Amino acid sequence: MSAASTQVDSPSAQIIDGKAIADRIRKEIATEVKALQEKYGKVPGLAVVLVGTKGDSATYVRMKRKACADLGIQSFSTDLPGDVSEEDLLKVVADYNANEEVHGILVQLPLPKHIDEQRILDAISLEKDVDGFHPANIGALAMRGRTPLFTSCTPKGCLELLKRSGVAISGKRAVVLGRSNIVGMPVAHLLQGEDATVTVVHSRTPDAQAICAEADILVAAIGRAEMVRGDWIKPGAAVIDVGTNPVPDASKKSGYRLVGDVAFSEAKERAGFITPVPGGVGPMTITMLLSNTVDGARRAFEKAAAAQ
């Protein structure tokens, strides 16, 4: 028998269809919104604040507002000029904090350089922090035995994709590539909370490839186009690609296409599960925002009912 005929091809990975999973969850959320309306006569409300006109941010905000409309969530919108003062932005946040019809407040990031992002995020009421970026929510996420009021949307979406795809987490070796406050750090805490053994790899980690190659679950959130090559992947691993990096593509009307932090075509030949870009983690981010808004509204409605 020739060598060629005895070779066993490694099967291609199961593609985790984030769009399909997000659509299913959105249907569940729409049902919950209806149930809340029937029980309390009120609907959840989400305030989305956009500063400036930066292309991506404006697109994401539009998507968030449309998603609210699709699911019966009341949407509150404030669009501010890029040179708005920090004090004026704080005033908008304070008004939404005081508005009883608003159960979630989201300030689209990044903010212009002249605004202290931390000061703005800290000003959002803990009970309306649907982004889960308030230090008290992050702190609770990091502590054993504590549950944050809200978990940040992209990390929550990553975990949801793993769970709904039947990927076991407990006892597995998880590697998170990237340590941002928005994704890397919270996703590492979430995986640890599910009893994975977690390593965070970042820009100063020597031999990132060798560490990634030990991962049963690899979450790539470093923001570098196709940094993770096929030979970084442990055969059979679950690969969650959070990267959305624009690369020039003259064949596209926009002049670019999006690629992840993982070289998809190489990685899918070794991984057991893998998310595509686009259509993987991205659609889950907004879906988890809607889910957090409904959670916030439910808590507010229950509290108001108990106080009567």
Ligand X SMILES: Nc1nc2c(c(=O)[nH]1)N[C@@H](CN(C=O)c1ccc(C(=O)N[C@@H](CCC(=O)O)C(=O)O)cc1)CN2
Neighbours of 250 (CB within 10 A): 6
Give min distance, CB of 138 to ligand X, in A.
Answer: 13
Q: Which is nearer to ligand X, 104 or 234 (CB)?
A: 104
We find the least distance from the C-beta atom of residue 254 to ligand X, in angstroms, to be 9
Find the catalytic residue in 129, 131, 261, 295.
131
Looking at the Cβ atoms of 211 and 218, the one nearer to ligand X is 218
| Dihedral (CA of 250, 253, 255, 260) sign | negative
Determine the longest span between alpha carbons in the chain, in angstroms: 81
When binding is defined by CB under 6 A, the residue of 60, 76, 150, 273 that contacts ligand X is 60
Using rule CB under 6 A, residue 106 touches ligand X: yes
- Residue 50 binds to ligand X (criterion: CB under 6 A): no
**Torsion on CA atoms 166, 12, 288, 74, rounded to nearest 10:** -120
Q: Is 88 a catalytic residue?
A: no
Q: How far apart are the first and last CA of the chain?
A: 81
Q: Buried (b) or exposed (e) across 154-175, using 16+ Cβ within 10 A?
A: bbbbbbbbbeebebebeebbbb
Per-residue contact string for residues 267-296; x = within reach of ligand X by CB under 6 A: ----------xxx--xx-xx----------
Residue 116 a catalytic site member: no
Minimum gap (Å) between residue 59 Cβ and ligand X: 6
Q: Is 76 in the site for ligand X (CB under 6 A)?
A: no
Beta carbons of 80 and 108 less than 8 angstroms apart: no
Tokens 């590492």 -> residue? 188
> How far apart (Å, rounded) are the C-alpha atoms in residues 7 and 30?
49
CB 104, CB 96: distance < 8 Å? no
Among 103, 104, 108, 167, binds ligand X (CB under 6 A): 108
Between 236 and 255, whose beta carbon lies closer to ligand X?
A: 255
Strands (E), 58-194: 74-80, 104-107, 173-177
**Is residue 21 involved in binding ligand X (CB under 6 A)?**
no
Q: Closer to ligand X at the Cβ: 18 or 44?
A: 18
Residue length, the chain? 308
Nearest approach, Cβ of 150 to ligand X (angstroms)?
A: 11
Binding mask 211-250 for ligand X (x = CB under 6 A): ---------------------------------x------
Is 234 an annotated catalytic residue?
no
Q: Which is nearer to ligand X, 137 or 285 (CB)?
A: 285
HSE-CB of 167 using CA atoms within 13 angstroms = 31
Give 67's Cβ-side CA count (13 Å radius).
26
x-or-dash string of contact with ligand X, 110-149, rule CB under 6 A: ---------------------x------------------
Per DSSP, the chain holds a count of helices (H) and strands (E) of 11, 11
Q: Which residue is nearest to ligand X (CB)?
A: 282
The residue with tokens 């009883």 is: 100
User: Which residues contribute to the site for ligand X (CB under 6 A)?
Assistant: 59-60, 106-109, 131, 153-154, 244, 258, 277-279, 282-283, 285-286
Active site positions, annotated? 64, 108, 131
